[in-house]
Structures are given as C-alpha cells and as structure tokens.
Amino acid sequence: MAPSLAGREVLLGVSGGVAAYKAASLARGLKKLGADVQVILTGGATRFVQPAQFEALTGRRCYTDTFSDVERIVHVEVARRADVAIFAPATTNLIAKFAAGIADDLVTSTFTCLTVPTVIAPAMHTEMWLHPATQAAVRLLAERGATIVGPGEGELAGGDVGPGRLEDEDVLLEAVLRAAGRADHPLSGRRVVVTAGGTRERLDPVRFLSNRSTGKMGYAIAEAAAAVGATVDLVAAPTALADPPGVTTTHVESALDMHAAVMALAPAADVIVKAAAVSDFRPVAVSDQKLKKDAWTGSGAEGDGVTLELARNPDILADLGRRDDIDAVLVGFAAETTDVESYGRGKLESKGADLIVVNDVSQSDAGFGVDTNRVVILGRDGFRRAVDLASKRAVADVILDLAAERLRG
Ligand code: PMT
C-alpha cells in the first residue's frame, strides 16, 4: 500500500526565509498524501509568500496573526487539532525562539502548545547554520524529541554554496510520514525504562569487577523507544557511549545503584527492558584506599593466591517480577553460551518476566560489544520468535513491538 496521511491533520508552519516559496509545493505534497493541511505563517514569511496561495492549495484559512481571531485562540486550536507538525523552512530566528520557549507570534505560540511529533527543517545561510547558538538550539530541540531534517547542502540565495538549503520535498514528506507513524505506535506517550551496560563492583578506588557489556544493546533499545514517541528513562552502567538524544539518562555504577534507580522509576513505567549485564556478586569489603599487595585476604608469600569474599547482589529483574505495585511489561535478557533457549526459558520463569531475549554471547557477531545481535525472544504461554542476525537497532524495534503487544492498562 502506498504511504498515506489520509485522515491525519498536518500543521505546516512557515517562517521568513527565501525557501518559503517551497512551502507551497510542500503543502501540495502533503495534500496529495491525503492529509488535512493547516498552514500558519510568521510575519517574516508573509514578506515572501501570501496566505491566499496556501488557502487555494489547502482549502483552509491560512493564519498569520495571534490577534486576528482572538476569541478562537487560534494557536491553541491549531496545535490541539494537529496529529503531526512540520516547520519548513525554519529560520535561525525561529529555531532560537523554539529552543528558548519564546512565544511572541502565532507560529512560536503554536509551537509551545504542541504535544505531537514535530519535524523541523532548517534553512538559512551557512554562517547562520554553523553559528554555535543555532547548533546549540538545534541540539536542544532534538533532545526534546523534535526530528531535525537537513539542512541540505547546495546553492543558497545570493549564489553562495554550502549547508543551509531546505531539504528536498520528498525527504520532508518522508519525515512527516515517519513522524505520523510514530504517533500511531502503541508506545507513543508511554513510559519505557531501559537498563544498559555492565555494572562495576568496586574493590578499591582503582579496581572493580565487571563484564564485557558496552551498553550498545540497551542504548539501541532506548533510542528505538524514543523514536516511536515513548518517554524514555535509560539507567546506564559505565559506558563510552554518548547519552542518546531525547532520552533521560541516569548514570549508575554498581548493581546496588542500578537497583535503586530502577525501583524508583518502575512504578510509573509501562515497559521495562533489562538489557544491562548486572554483576551477580560484589566484594564484601570495599577499601577507600588502593589496596596494597599484602593487604589482600589470604595473601602470603609472593605467588600465593588470594581469596576474595563476595556478597550476592539483588536480582533487579526478579525483584521487579515479584512486586505487586509494578504493572509494567517486563522484558529481561539472557546472556548464555550453552543450551541457550532452555536456560533462557528458565530465567523467564524464575524472574517473572513477560518476555526474555536470549542471546548466545559465545558468537562473534552477537552479544557483547558488536553492533549486531541474533536472538530468540521467549514469552509466557510458549511464545517464541527467532530474530536472525540484524543490527541491534533492528532487534530493538522487534523487542519493542512485542512489548507493546503486551501493554497493560
Ligand atoms: O552491552 P552490549 O555490549 O551491547 O552487549 C549486550 C548484552 C550481551 C549485554 C545484552 O544483549 C544482554 O544479554 N544483556 C543481559 C546480560 C545478563 O546479565 O544476562 P544474565 O543472563 O546474567 O541476566 C538475566 C537478566 O537478569 C538480565 O535481564 C539482567 O539484566 C537481569 N539481572 C541479572 C542479574 C542481577 N543481579 N539483576 C538483574 O536484573
């Protein structure tokens, strides 16, 4: 079936850049995909394009002023009606105001009322695009969940060449389709908690016990959940990865820290995915100072072994499975090297999870450290789904779709 926006209300905000003339064609493209299109213009945009143009193309009144229909409170009305919004072209000025929360005209006031997936398509001169203030504003908007599309590179007004061109119409339409799809996903607006990375169990200020987890699997799940519009909390054990945009990341070190962070987030969660590799044990004694060789318990003459006393860490997943006040769909992982499915099914049941994602971590292209994974997902009632070698992000998408099918409440 051809992609469609039939029955969807798309808000198109246009600001005052030379590329504003392209917004008329974009409005037409959105109409062709079946959308009901509501156009709003900034004062600057009206220097380049006319409301009548958009009214003819969309069959709708095109608004330009907060004070033209005061009794209808237009900015609130159009924002509430929208299923998805696109701002194209978005000038430096518009982007800076969006980031700062300034609402001093119809378009910026409407933006502050939006709660739906939003696409922002910057278009401006290269110098303006590269200015640190613009870059910081764009980063902030992306972190808050907006999809930034472009700018493209090419010829700009005045004959300059460089980054700053409004992205091509087909790219913008594709972004709107994806954003509209996001609004349709059952996890859109739901709370997802993800754990990632390998916990560290300190012995002293320079030594710890840990494992080979890099956090890639958990981060891919957090990113995939944010991409479908979920509110995502990522609880990350030490990793070299950058915090994913649009996700609230809490950094923890040990299994006990992770236990506390997850338990605090769990009651409000709709889905919890435990991709972290949590140390099952921690040293009983943790030294404030670097331990000297002769301070190790049991150490004697050089060459003797040492005995490290370990205490069992709480099992976070099993504790979640036991708690009555937690309604979230629980997804655990099982890192196995032999009899992977039967050990995985054992963990599914003993830990009270709804789904368990079993990976064979003895394979070189799956499990720890790599960008790909190969998993079998097991559920209650004998559910089984094998996912052959795929990127961790693609595996994440499957996990989230299966979790979404099991949403409660
Ligand atoms: O981070 P990467 O480099 O991308 O690698 C990904 C991965 C191999 C770490 C990931 O795919 C994975 O398998 N994660 C789970 C690793 C693990 O600890 O598995 P486990 O079989 O020991 O634990 C089973 C489940 O119980 C896991 O969901 C784990 O988070 C949870 N658990 C374990 C121990 C504990 N004390 N508390 C827990 O919650």
DSSP string, 37-91: EEEEE-TTGGGT--HHHHHHHHSS--B--TTTTGGG-HHHHHHHH-SEEEEEEE-
**Domains of the chain from N-terminus onward:** 9-184 (3.40.50.1950), 191-284+302-405 (3.40.50.10300)
What atom in ligand 1 is closest to the CA of residue 343? 21
Q: Is the distance from the beta carbon of residue 277 to the nearest atom of ligand 1 less than 6 Å?
A: yes
Q: Is the distance from the beta carbon of residue 377 to the nearest atom of ligand 1 less than 6 Å?
A: no
Contact 404, 185 (CB under 8 A): yes
pLDDT score of 244: 84
pLDDT score of 300: 53
Please report, for residues 53, 167, 226, 382, the alpha-carbon distance to residue 90 in angstroms, rounded to integers and kept in the order given: 19, 11, 23, 51
Please report, for residues 30, 111, 130, 396, the alpha-carbon distance to residue 12 in angstroms, rounded to integers and kept in the order given: 9, 11, 25, 32
pLDDT score of 134: 95
Q: Is the distance from the beta carbon of residue 262 to the nearest atom of ligand 1 less than 6 Å?
A: no
Close Cβ partners of 82 (under 8 Å, ≥ 6 residues apart): 9, 10, 11, 38, 114, 116
What atom in ligand 1 is closest to the CA of residue 276? 30
pLDDT score of 271: 98
Q: Which of 199, 278, 349 to mutate to test the pocket of ligand 1 (most atoms within 8 A of CB)?
A: 278
pLDDT score of 228: 85
State pLDDT tens for residues 334-350.
Answer: 999 999 999 999 999 99
Name the one residue in this structure whose structure tokens are 């390998």. 198
Please report which residue ranges of 67-214 form alpha helices under DSSP H. 74-81, 92-100, 106-113, 126-130, 132-143, 169-184
d(CA 160, CA 125): 8
Low-confidence ranges of the chain (pLDDT < 70): 1-2, 295-303, 409
Distance 185 CA to ligand 1 centre (A): 27
Per DSSP, the three-state class of 333 is strand
Please report, for residues 136, 276, 315, 391, 392, the alpha-carbon distance to residue 367 in angstroms, rounded to integers and kept in the order given: 35, 12, 20, 11, 9
Active site residues: 211
Distance 267 CA to ligand 1 centre (A): 21
d(CA 263, CA 315): 12
Q: Is the distance from the beta carbon of residue 368 to the nearest atom of ligand 1 less than 6 Å?
A: yes
Q: Is the distance from the beta carbon of residue 317 to the nearest atom of ligand 1 less than 6 Å?
A: yes
Distance 142 CA to ligand 1 centre (A): 29
Close Cβ partners of 56 (under 8 Å, ≥ 6 residues apart): none
Distance 222 CA to ligand 1 centre (A): 15
Q: Is the distance from the beta carbon of residue 214 to the nearest atom of ligand 1 less than 6 Å?
A: yes
Distance 237 CA to ligand 1 centre (A): 12
**325-355 burial, b for 16+ CB within 10 Å, e for fewer?**
ebebbbbbbbbbeeebbebbbebbeebbbbb
pLDDT score of 3: 72
Q: Which of 201, 209, 211, 213 to mutate to test the pocket of ligand 1 (most atoms within 8 A of CB)?
A: 213
d(CA 375, CA 355): 12
